[in-house]
Structure formats: C-alpha cells, structure tokens
Amino acid sequence: MNIGNLIMVVVGTGAMALFGIVAGLFYMGIDRVLVARMQARIGPPLRQPFIDMAKLMTKQNIVPANAIPWLFNAAPLVALASSISIMLYIPLGSFAPIFRGYGDLILIVYLLVIPALAMVVGGLASGSPYATIGAQREMVTMISYELPLATTIIAFAWKYAQLGLDNPFSLATVAATPIWSQVGPLGFVGCLLLLVTMILVTPGELGKIPFDTPEAETELAGGLLVEYSGRNLALFYLSLGVKAIVLTAVVVALFFPYNLSSYLAMSALPARLVDGAFFLVKIFVIMFFSVSLIRIAMARFRITQVVDVYWKYLGALSLVGLILVMVDSFIR
C-alpha cells in the first residue's frame, strides 16, 4: 500500500465515520419525533440524540467490580469501529463505495456480525446476570436473522452471477444494475418477498421493537447494556446509529439504487448533490417502514418467538423468494 492509498484510506474512513455518526444520530432523532407524533405526543426535538450523547459524555464511566475491565471497555470501541468500517464498502447515492473492488456483498454479511458480537462480548464481560441473559438473547437473535439475511444475499449473488457481469457479488455492480430490470413477473414477486425479508431483518439487526429482547428495558433493565454508562454507553449508541445507516444503505443499494440525476439533465456537481439528497430520503423511507412503523405497532416478542419469526416464517419467505428468482431465470 503506497502513501496515496494510505491517505485515501485515512480520509475515506474519517469521512465515513463523520457521515455515519451524524446521519445515524439525525435519523434516531427523526425516528423519535415520528414515533412520538404517532402516539399523539409532541416528542423530543430532532437534536435530542446529539444532546443525549453530550450528556452521556459528562456521566461517570462505571466499570463494575465483576467485570473484565479490558474486555468491558474494548467492546464498545470494536462495535463502533467495525460499524464504521462497513460504510467503506457501501455505495452512497451516486458515490461508488470507497473500497470498490476490495470487498463484496458476502463480506458485508460477515462484517455485520462484528458489532453484534462486540455487544455480546461486552454483555458477558459485564459480570451481571441481566447482561448475561441479554448477551444470550443477542446470540440467539443473531443466529435467527442470519438465515433470512443470508438467503436474500444468496438470491442476489446467484442472480447477478447468472447475468455474466464482472464482479457480480460487488455491491457497486448490484447498484449499477437494478434487480427489478433483470427479472420477469415471477422474479419480481420473488424480489418483493426478499424486500419484505430485508425490511424485517433490519429491526432485528438493530435490536428494535419487536426484536429488542436482548435489551428488554422493562424485563432485563437494559439487558446486555445494563452495566454500561457514560462514554462506553455513548459509543454503543453511536455504533447502533452507524449500523442503522449501514443496513438501510444496503437495502437501498440492493432494491432502490436509482438516482434522480439519470432522469434530469444536470452537470456533475449538482447531480451528485441531488443524488446525495435523494439517497438520504430513501434511507429515511426505509428506516420509517422497517423501524419506526413496526416499533410503534407491535410489542416485544419473546426470544422463542424471535426464532420462530426469523427461522420459520421469514426463512420460508426468503426461500420462496430465492426459488421464484431462480425459476424466473430458468424460464426467461
């Protein structure tokens, strides 16, 4: 790696960290306002997550007596850093991924495991019974949503491999060749099922209602985060914000990679800006349907119900989606 590449990696990672954190906190604010309005409350101001972060930074950073201090402190750092690193593999609007050609769709599925595992390790390192139960539930939730998530990604990988494109597993390739224009009616239905699957995998990945069993405030008092406070808790919240942007950006790249500039005659810079703004709107829409709307309408699942939903119902749904996409390719 030469100096130019190193500077590119440093600047790119810094820029993605800034974008992921600011956008993640901003969308958390939008989510809280929308949920409040749907419950006929005024709700907090949009900047509330930023205020919360600033407040957490002024709070004591307690390390429990039973904890393994270095693991307890390292887990939030790894969660945030790994979430930021995934941003480098995802196209944002008309901007290609910074690490284009150096990581693909399959890699993103693996990298998504790291922030969740960091939370599990942090919970187990807390030395608290509540956190241990929370960590156990996070493990089970993670195992559960991996099946429908992996099936959806396999469907895309298989379809794009069939098309004979260069680097078919690359998210940049997928974004440049929208799936909807590559399938017939059966494949279209299959893709709709895969979209529903991804919409429902997102709240599980983010630990949002009804899949918030690992935290379960009213039952486990915060579960795997119960012993975290101050700056360590702030880092976990930031990592969840970045992960929310990562997941919705993946859904956008897979299912809605369209840009406005391709329909409007615009010069390069305004086109980038318009596409960037349109990308933020798409993220907001995905976030609304996959997080805000679901969490306002439902109560928390028990951990066995989480497994049922992901392994039995969504697993079957994504498998039908995959089969329809394959059958569609064979009969076209």
Partner 1 sequence: MDVAWTMHTGFGSWNPALWLAALLIALVVALAIRALGRKDYRKNSAQTKPFISGNEEPAHGGGHIPASNLYWGFLESMKAYYERLVPLHTGMLGDYLVWFLGVLAAVLVIGLVI
Which position among 238, 240, 287, 291 is part of the footprint of partner 1 (CB under 8 A)? 238
User: Phi then psi for 95, rounded to 5 degrees?
Assistant: -85, 125
Alpha helices in the chain (DSSP H): 3-38, 48-57, 69-87, 105-111, 113-125, 129-162, 171-176, 185-206, 217-220, 230-255, 268-287, 293-297, 303-307, 315-331
Q: Which residues in 241-260 contact partner 1 (CB under 8 A)?
A: none
In the complex, the smallest distance separating the C-beta of residue 72 from partner 1, rounded to whole angstroms, is 11
Which position among 96, 107, 274, 280 is part of the footprint of partner 1 (CB under 8 A)? 107
String marking each residue 281-310 x if it binds partner 1 according to CB under 8 A? ----------------------xxxxxx--
- Site size with partner 1, rule: CB under 8 A: 75
Q: Does 3 bind partner 1 (CB under 8 A)?
A: no
Q: Which residue has tokens 């195992």?
A: 143
Q: Which residues in 128-167 contact partner 1 (CB under 8 A)?
A: 128-130, 132, 135-137, 139-140, 143-144, 157, 161, 167
**HSE (CB half, 13 Å, CA atoms) of 220?**
26
Task: Report the alpha-carbon distance of residue 177 to residue 13 in Å, rounded.
Answer: 26
Which position among 26, 31, 33, 85 is part of the footprint of partner 1 (CB under 8 A)? 85
In the complex, the smallest distance separating the C-beta of residue 245 from partner 1, rounded to whole angstroms, is 14
Which position among 101, 262, 277, 313 is part of the footprint of partner 1 (CB under 8 A)? 101
DSSP one-letter string for 22-71: HHHHHHHHHHHHHHHHHTT-----TTHHHHHHHHHHTS-----TTS-HHH
How far is residue 156 from each of residues 75, 162, 169, 255, 260, measured CA to CA in Å? 32, 10, 8, 10, 24
Task: Report the alpha-carbon distance of residue 117 to residue 299 in Å, rounded.
Answer: 25
Q: Does 316 bind partner 1 (CB under 8 A)?
A: no
Cis bond leading into 210, ω under 30°?
A: yes
Q: Which amino acid is at 232?
A: N
Nearer to partner 1, 21 or 286 (CB): 21
String marking each residue 195-214 x if it binds partner 1 according to CB under 8 A? ------------------x-
Q: Does 237 bind partner 1 (CB under 8 A)?
A: no
Q: Does 82 bind partner 1 (CB under 8 A)?
A: yes
Q: Does 126 bind partner 1 (CB under 8 A)?
A: yes
Q: Does 217 bind partner 1 (CB under 8 A)?
A: no
Task: Report the alpha-carbon distance of residue 260 to residue 280 in Å, rounded.
Answer: 12
Q: Does 58 bind partner 1 (CB under 8 A)?
A: yes
Nearer to partner 1, 161 or 281 (CB): 161
